[in-house]
Amino acid sequence: MKIKDGFAMRNIAGSNIVVPVGKKSQEFNGMVTLNSSGAFFWNCFLKDRTIDEVVEMALEEYEVDRATVKKDIENFVLLLKNNDIME
């Protein structure tokens, strides 16, 4: 899974905001706000990775149990897929 081309995360006034860029700005009317863990997941999925690969990356970054972080990543992926932001 990977973030689709045409979207970028920007830090605006201390908030992590996903915005469309280029041609996507004509198709996608909105933005997504990410917390710090969402921003971490976003950066992980800039390259094509599986959920399990990102789980391992998150376990190295955060003190959290595997089940919790896997559920959080699955919810993150679902959010992006529902908004046509992730392949």
| Host domain of residue 20 | 7-82
Residue 19 maps to a domain: yes
**Sequence letter at residue 84:** D
Top pLDDT among 83 and 78 is at: 78
Mean pLDDT (whole number) for 48-65: 96
pLDDT of res. 3: 97
Sign of CA pseudo-dihedral 18, 21, 26, 27: negative
Top pLDDT among 13 and 24 is at: 13
Ranges assigned E (strand) in 1-87: 7-12, 15-20, 32-34
Residue 87 maps to a domain: no
Total domains in the fold of the chain: 1
User: What does the block give as tokens for 68?
Assistant: 């919790």
Cα distance between residue 33 and residue 36, in whole Å = 10
The residues pairing with 12 across neighbouring beta strands, listed in sequence order, are 15
Q: What global pTM score does this model have?
A: 0.91
